[in-house]
Amino acid sequence: MTDRQNSAATVATTTTPTLLAGPALMAGYGVVRLIGRAVGDYGPGVWWSLAHLLFLAGVLAFVPVFLGLRMPAGVRGGRRAGIRVAAGAGLLGAAAVAVQAAIDLVVGFLAADKEAMSEMFDRVQGVPGAMPLVYTVVPTLFWLGLLALVAQLAFFRRGEVPGRSPLLVLAGIVMMAVSLDLLAAGALCVGLALHPVRRGLRG
């Protein structure tokens, strides 16, 4: 086995567990958020901090996923270029979402109550460029990149990555966009989509 093959095998081995860890952690965020809201103690406080720690961990768990999926075995030339573009977009989006989660954690730690949190968020979001970079435009690349990656793998590695995987990713994205109360269900859809994708990392 060549050094390149060893490297690819190492990436695949590392990525396989995180294919499910990311969605699982994000589902945990959704569940903790619902519990905190149900008990009337969501932000600032323990429930807010725990939820956003899970959210941040979930986003970071997708980094090795994007890195692993950017070089799938058996995909060459222009096809691989498209996959790398999608992976790069996903990584850029993940960085923006991670910054957003970190801001949420800091604000939750510093604020004395929800009114203070709201004031802090207004100040942060009032910084020029903060909204598109951290809250609106760039973060969408995280999900669009993931969807593009899975869709391309389903097309280029047919028989190994099922056609339902990109549909499940899309369903999960739509659920989370409709309401954060559906975040756990949406993350479950993404997890179900990614489970068979691990086969697309192997030769």
Tokens 């280029």 found at: 156
pLDDT at residue 17, rounded to an integer? 73
**73 pLDDT tier (thresholds 50, 70, 90):** low
CB 86 within 8 A of CB 152: yes
**10 pLDDT tier (thresholds 50, 70, 90):** very low
Dump pLDDT digits (tens) for 95-116: 999 999 999 999 999 999 999 9
Alpha-carbon distance 103 to 133, whole Å? Answer: 13
Residue 202 structure tokens: 């192997």
The number of CA neighbours under 13 Å toward the Cβ of 161 is 27
CB 145 within 8 A of CB 62: no
pLDDT at residue 155, rounded to an integer? 86
Alpha-carbon distance 188 to 114, whole Å? Answer: 30
State the helix-helix crossing angle for 3-38 and 183-194, rounded to 10 degrees: 160
DSSP H helices, the chain, are 3-38, 46-61, 63-69, 77-110, 114-125, 130, 140-156, 164-178, 183-194
Dump pLDDT digits (tens) for 156-184: 877 778 899 999 999 999 999 999 999 99
Span 73-92, average pLDDT:
82
**19 pLDDT tier (thresholds 50, 70, 90):** confident
On the question of pLDDT at 7 being above 80, the answer is no
**82 pLDDT tier (thresholds 50, 70, 90):** confident
Residue 129 structure tokens: 């460029």
Dump pLDDT digits (tens) for 42-67: 889 999 999 999 999 999 999 988 98
